[in-house]
Amino acid sequence: MSKKWLIFVLAALCADMTFAASQQEADRLGKDLTPIGAEKAGNKDGTIPAWSGKADEALPGWAWGKERAGFSKMTKEEKPLFTITPANVDQYASKMTPGQVALVKQVPNYRMDVYPSHRNCVVPSSVEERTKMNALEAKMNADGFSLDHAKAGGVPFPIPANGAEAMWNQKLRPTGVGFTFQNGGSVLSPRRGTNDYVFYDWELTQFYPWGAKGAKNVEDSGKVELYGYYKYSAPVALVGQALVYISYLDKIAESSYYFPGQRRVRRLPAYAYDAPLIGFENEYMVDIQNMFWSTLDRFDYKLAGKKEIYIPHDAFKMYNFNTPHKDAYLKDEVNPDLGRYELHRVWVVEATVRAGMRHSAPKRTYYLDEDSWNILIAEDYDSSGKLWNVRQAWQIPVWELGGICTYNPFIQYNLQSGRYMSDYSVLGQKKDVQYFLESKENVYSSSFYTPDTLRAISER
């Protein structure tokens, strides 16, 4: 083998390898970096404050079952600093994503109310400890996209070397052991020229085995990333349809679907990537669930650095389960009165479909909040390079999780069809989502998520 060819081979191998942080880099955690890898310092302008480690707290009188808006100790009395509209969007465009600019310019009555920034995302001490361990020992497989090892309950790559590591931080971000919607909701806005909404009601439980008390390594639970159970109660065409799914660290999810008309459970081996989600009129790809639900093998992920962006944060009104549908879901947009934006730093990850692979959105951009690793904005581009879909997730510090920042509701705007889709929402659903730090029910056990269980509970 020639020397030139050997250099080429070594370079190719190194491109797919992940190297742990050095001890010197890991020692930055808790010093100039937060315990999960964000910059502690604020920005030069003072418009992004320094991270203090202080969590938001619920004001006296709040308990689960009451609406969250109005009970945030940090934000209750605040008013918007300014509002971004079509008249002034160019003035603020440098702090916006291309998709946000397009929404303001193209969607009738769309606006962004910008509030003072709060860096109130914190994690338990156990997450801090395991994140520091992961900085030195977490690693990916030679394929460049699947995870080989990480300590459970910690961010795997707090000092990411590439885009794939950043995406794994999002997939394994601190979020407790799981969440439950007793009565969740989704909405598909009317087609152009009509007034016909589609409203969906459903129940959902999602369980993260690596978040369970006593879990040691992420890979110890059969290389499972998460388990889920989902069942429709509306609209009529979908009533009784149900799904269990298991997502893995190194292969596509196993999905089993119950069709009540057939009284059968069927495996859905191709229910992944850009396959259309059942019942959503081709407006919803499977891999955008919860902002990102997929293995990393279809795309190359480039870490494009950090940027200051107005992100959805402290958006408690998006969790107001008593807000009537007619007040929340307007014809062209979700009511902007419910939104809240703050200036934060985000990691920018550019995803480009891999050679030999295909996807209906061959280019995507993800924006990950540095303080939580949550994907809060995502943009899809079509095969001609034209901006197609824009998604935003509504992050809050969750008081019952001790101030961990996470999200459930997200909204996608299809700039080409003119429709929007809202999912993982409680708006108008009369019940809030429940988050759990510890397993308390049988649904927070791996034995629940099987085709046999799905058949048994669906045929009652």
Angle at 340 between CA 335 and CA 341, to 5 degrees: 130
For residue 19, the model assigns a pLDDT of 58
**Token output for 304:** 């494009």
Q: Assess whether pLDDT exceeds 90 at residue 442.
A: no
Q: Assess whether pLDDT exceeds 60 at residue 128.
A: yes
For residue 360, the model assigns a pLDDT of 98
Which of 292, 228, 227, 249 has its CA nearest to residue 150? 249
Are 40 and 52 a contacting pair, CB within 8 Å? no
For residue 213, the model assigns a pLDDT of 85
Indicate the pLDDT class of residue 440, thresholds 50, 70 and 90.
confident
Beta strands in 20-173 (DSSP E): 82-84, 112-114, 139-140, 147-149
Q: What is the mean pLDDT of residues 26-52?
A: 97
Q: Assess whether pLDDT exceeds 80 at residue 253.
A: yes
Q: What is the mean pLDDT of residues 390-399?
A: 98
pTM for the full predicted model: 0.95
Indicate the pLDDT class of residue 18, thresholds 50, 70 and 90.
low
DSSP 129-188: HHHHHHHHH-EE-TTSSSEEE-BTTS-S-SS-SSHHHHHHHHHT-S--SEEEEEEEEEEE
Q: Indicate the fold that domain 82-458 takes in CATH.
A: outer membrane lipoprotein receptor (LolB), chain A (2.50.20)
Average pLDDT, the chain: 94
Q: Assess whether pLDDT exceeds 70 at residue 17.
A: no
Q: What is the mean pLDDT of residues 57-85?
A: 97
Indicate the pLDDT class of residue 460, thresholds 50, 70 and 90.
low
Q: Assess whether pLDDT exceeds 80 at residue 382.
A: yes
For residue 134, the model assigns a pLDDT of 98
Determine the distance from the C-alpha atom of residue 262 to the mean position of all C-alpha atoms in its chain, rounded to a whole number: 34
Q: What is the mean pLDDT of residues 302-307?
A: 98
User: Structural domain boundaries of the chain?
Assistant: 82-458
For residue 5, the model assigns a pLDDT of 37
Angle at 386 between CA 384 and CA 388, to 5 degrees: 120
